[in-house]
């Protein structure tokens, strides 16, 4: 189950990297955030990796 959660978390980071941030502090830099991974999503990947 952890492997599935980790894959989903990584897929989400990849999917949203090419979209502008619309929430949080980064929303004021929406256009500049395109191409950068969301820090919160990266944190979820790290947390999920720690569950292994």
Confidence of residue 5 (pLDDT cuts 50, 70, 90): very high
Q: How many domains does the chain have?
A: 1
Residue 38 has pLDDT above 80, yes or no: yes
Q: What is the pLDDT of residues 17-35, one digit of tens each?
A: 998 888 777 778 788 889 8
Domain that holds residue 44: 2-50
Long-range contacts from 14-20, C-beta under 8 angstroms, 24+ separation: 16/41
Distance in angstroms (rounded) separating the CA atoms of residues 15 and 52: 23
Residue 52 has pLDDT above 90, yes or no: no
SS3 labels along the chain: CHHHHHHHHHHHHHHHHCCCCCCCHHHHHCCCCCCCCCHHHHHHHHHHHHCC
């Amino acid at each position: 189950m952890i492997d599935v959660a980790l894959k989903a978390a990584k897929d989400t980071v990849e999917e949203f990297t090419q979209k502008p941030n619309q929430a949080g502090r980064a929303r004021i830099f929406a256009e500049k955030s395109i191409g950068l991974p969301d820090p919160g999503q990266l944190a979820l990947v790290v947390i999920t990796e720690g569950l292994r």
